Structure 1
Amino acid sequence: MKPVLRAAGVALLLMGAVTGAYITGRVTAQRALVTPEEINTVEVVQKTLPAVVRVDARLRKEALQPGDDPVDTGTGFFYKKNLIVTNYHVIQYQESVSVTLYNGRRVTARVEGIDPGIDIAILRVTGVTAPRTLSFGRSAALVPGQKLITIGSPLRIQNYVGTGVFSVAASARDIPRNDGLGQEIGQYLVTTANIQQGNSGGPLLDSRGAVVGVADANAAPNSFVPGVIGIAVPGDLVRQSLDDLEKIGVPQRGTLGVSLVDLDTLDPALRQLAGLSSSEGALVDEVPAGTAGARAGLRGSLRNSRGQLLAPLGDVIVAVDGQRVRNSFDVVRLVAAKRPGQTVTLRVWRNKKPVDVKVTLQKRTLQ
């Protein structure tokens, strides 16, 4: 796991029969376990722990730098009898993958599907059946202050359990990442559960034991301070992606199919020639034939033999469905919130005046 956005677990849960243990209904617990909150946490962990695995990805040689650990460790969980969810960044550079079940049994796995747009991957295992599978709850129904539970393998410590609360759903523009992944996540779940390296891909559970998010990252003020704010991919988005990957092979979030350039990276002289007074927006660069953008009539840009942009510029997207955009990332995530067949209205700057362009989004296909 590289520094930036990655994931992990939180607070250790010590379980097992000890002198003075007593029965609390469904759970044999230590004497200190006396509150309904504690009992609920233990019940959820005992029910869900068998579904959670440690994921070890042996990295390809070309992906390694001198001194790098050749094995990247994360977490995953069974959602079907032989299918496991994890983060794409855990297996992105894998040469081979293995998973270790909660009881220590280790088996090989292969990558079944990937969705870099929301940093999710599916692994398939053979020769073993899930001891238990987890179901998804509704992440959209989370209430600030609601308890959340994480299970993962931070620092390769497997079956590590922690608790926190759901804090807020934060715009992805406020949670920058430098790995180029997750570009189609509109909002992240922010939690006090301390998500660290090794918990990537692990479940974020509610008090019923339903998956409401997938641990993905942590936030820190700088690279010298451990991240203390947990970041997770919303479970509703993950569930939708898994369904798409299984049925179609690719996620079905909206895309224009065009390449974009951040307006603030352009020579100010070019912006001035185009009549633009602001550096906010995304320039349409290439518009491949057959894409949703091409069918809607979006105009691309011209370049010379050295790849330099020429005047007049192509369309500049300044708003999506009435929401102003700062850069290409804003355009991508707002369009990705749509599904194939839906229409998105783009406000573009064309020939020194604003024009509205309606784009009907198409079904994605395997490349």
Structure 2
Amino acid sequence: MNAARALVAAALLSGAVTGAYVTGRVTAQRTLVTPDEINTVEVTQKALQAVVRVDNRLQRERLQPGDDPIETGTGFFYKKDLIVTNYHVVQFQESLTVTLYNGRRIPARLEGVDPGIDIAILRVTGVTAPATLSFGSSARLIPGQKLLTIGTPLRIPNFVGTGVFSVAVSARDIPRSDGFANEVGQYIATTANIQQGNSGGPLLDSRGLVVGVADASAAPNGLVPGIIGIAVPGDLVKQSLDDLEKIGVPQRGTLGVTLVDLDSLDPALRQLAGLSSSEGALVDQVPAGTAAARAGLRGSLRNSKDQLLAPLGDIIVAVDGQRVRDSFDVIRLVAAKRPGQTVTLDVWRNKKRVAVKVTLLKRTLQ
């Protein structure tokens, strides 16, 4: 703590002794007694103005009788007219509105999407962000470090939660059924509150910097509220936002192929291929012009009934020396790279292990 911050903290604490003090726009009466409480209040008061409620009026054809037509989540301004949120919050939107911290509602439109990490950008017009949030470094988080969330859980506005960073957890351990975020390698696990409605909100460190975007709540079943919050790492989000603004699509690595988990194949097919293990990912389709096609990766053949035929195509068993269990591993390991980088695939081809080097290509708009 530098001298200026030390003097501020001392002044605040001495104010607490006399019964009242002011920190920023907050006046506290005999409440804030520790530096940590003061920090929490200061970070919250600055960040609240940047956080918005996101309401997605769903397309009519997506609704069943009795369904709530409004999907509610959270977002935050990271630029004067741009808001980041989760893609799953704004999917199937008929119209979008955001509500500012002061209750003002304004229309928004989808500006960019990145389902691969469950992120979307919204643009608003006719209003300038009351405040914006900046990104910190999620890679530098330390277990036990304090984190804060601000969002709209259960549609409660401006809800603040605190907790700690617990661990970076493999995406494999966070099962999802929505098909999104299949390019997230690791999530942030936290004890800070993340419930339904928090999705897309900021996960803040004690400096008020965004180190993650709230994404889900880990719960034992659908009836029990989760006590473990799951967030997309801020470093990954920041990289995606930059790509979306400059290029229009994220630039994480991709082979451009379709994959089939080896353990889903008929054991007889695996035996014909000379494999004794069910670990690996079968290359199914290899579209022309993709990085995989340029590297000579071999796809599989299918009959008129869409059944795989022997001999099978290449089977990826390792990526840059790391053994893979299935397509889940392949996608995430390759996604950690950037266009222009080279990834080495160990593939099983004609009953032999072969190394194939693939130079990843820039993604383009479909």
TM-score computed with the length of structure 2 as normaliser: 0.94
- Matched to 2:227, the amino acid is V
Bigger drift between 148-157 and 57-66 goes to 57-66
Deviation at 1:65, TM superposition (A): 2.2
Residues 42 and 299 of structure 1: CA distance in aligned 2, closer, same or farther (over 3 Å):
same
CA–CA distance in 2 between the matches of 1:106 and 1:223? 31
Q: Quote the residue 1:116 is aligned against.
A: 115
Deviation at 1:348, TM superposition (A): 0.5
Q: Which structure 1 segments of 5+ residues have no match?
A: 1-19
1:179 and 2:178 matched: yes
Q: Quote the residue 1:95 is aligned against.
A: 94
Q: Quote the residue 2:21 is aligned against.
A: 23
Deviation at 1:245, TM superposition (A): 0.1
TM-score computed with the length of structure 1 as normaliser: 0.93
Q: Quote the residue 2:250 is aligned against.
A: 251
- Matched to 2:210, the amino acid is V
Deviation at 1:24, TM superposition (A): 4.9
Q: Quote the residue 1:126 is aligned against.
A: 125
Q: Deviations over 1:189-245 (max 9, x none)?
A: 000012100000000000000000000001112223211100000000000000000
User: Which secondary structure does the structure 2 equivalent of 1:237 belong to?
Assistant: helix
Q: Deviations over 1:237-292 (max 9, x none)?
A: 00000000000000000000001011111111111100111111110000000000
Q: Quote the residue 1:325 is aligned against.
A: 324
Q: Deviations over 1:163-202 (max 9, x none)?
A: 0000000111111111100000000000001210000000
Deviation at 1:23, TM superposition (A): 1.4
CA–CA distance in 2 between the matches of 1:22 and 1:93? 50
Deviation at 1:25, TM superposition (A): 4.9
Bigger drift between 273-282 and 29-38 goes to 29-38
Larger radius of gyration: 2
User: Which secondary structure does the structure 2 equivalent of 1:151 belong to?
Assistant: strand
Q: Deviations over 1:85-126 (max 9, x none)?
A: 000000011110000000000000000000000000000001
Q: Quote the residue 1:13 is aligned against.
A: none
- Percentage of matched positions with identical amino acids: 82
- Matched to 2:294, the amino acid is R
User: Which secondary structure does the structure 2 equivalent of 1:55 belong to?
Assistant: strand
User: Which secondary structure does the structure 2 equivalent of 1:45 belong to?
Assistant: helix
Q: Quote the residue 1:43 is aligned against.
A: 42
What does 1:1-367 correspond to in 2, within 5 Å? 22-26=20-24, 27-367=26-366
Please say if residues 21 and 28 of structure 1, whose CA atoms lie closer than 8 Å, have aligned partners that are also in contact.
no
User: Which secondary structure does the structure 1 equivalent of 2:49 belong to?
Assistant: helix
User: Which secondary structure does the structure 2 equivalent of 1:32 belong to?
Assistant: coil
Residues 345 and 107 of structure 1: CA distance in aligned 2, closer, same or farther (over 3 Å):
same
Bigger drift between 118-127 and 58-67 goes to 58-67
Please say if residues 81 and 123 of structure 2, whose CA atoms lie closer than 8 Å, have aligned partners that are also in contact.
yes
User: Which secondary structure does the structure 1 equivalent of 2:84 belong to?
Assistant: strand
Please say if residues 21 and 29 of structure 2, whose CA atoms lie closer than 8 Å, have aligned partners that are also in contact.
no
Q: Deviations over 1:317-356 (max 9, x none)?
A: 0111111111111100110000000000101000011111
CA–CA distance in 2 between the matches of 1:283 and 1:68? 40
Please say if residues 345 and 355 of structure 2, whose CA atoms lie closer than 8 Å, have aligned partners that are also in contact.
yes
Please say if residues 74 and 199 of structure 1, whose CA atoms lie closer than 8 Å, have aligned partners that are also in contact.
yes
- Matched to 2:146, the amino acid is K
Aligned residues: 348
CA–CA distance in 1 between the matches of 2:335 and 2:126? 37
- Matched to 2:134, the amino acid is S
Q: Deviations over 1:290-326 (max 9, x none)?
A: 0000001100000011111000000000111111111
Please say if residues 117 and 184 of structure 1, whose CA atoms lie closer than 8 Å, have aligned partners that are also in contact.
yes
Q: Deviations over 1:109-167 (max 9, x none)?
A: 00000000000000000111000000000000100000000000011111000100000
Q: Quote the residue 2:14 is aligned against.
A: none
CA–CA distance in 2 between the matches of 1:307 and 1:333? 27
Bigger drift between 315-324 and 219-228 goes to 219-228
CA–CA distance in 2 between the matches of 1:29 and 1:162? 19
Identify the structure with bigger relative contact order (alpha carbons < 8 Å, sequence gap 6+).
Answer: 1
CA RMSD in angstroms comes to: 1.0
Please say if residues 50 and 129 of structure 2, whose CA atoms lie closer than 8 Å, have aligned partners that are also in contact.
yes
CA–CA distance in 1 between the matches of 2:146 and 2:286? 46
User: Which secondary structure does the structure 2 equivalent of 1:250 belong to?
Assistant: coil
Please say if residues 23 and 42 of structure 2, whose CA atoms lie closer than 8 Å, have aligned partners that are also in contact.
no
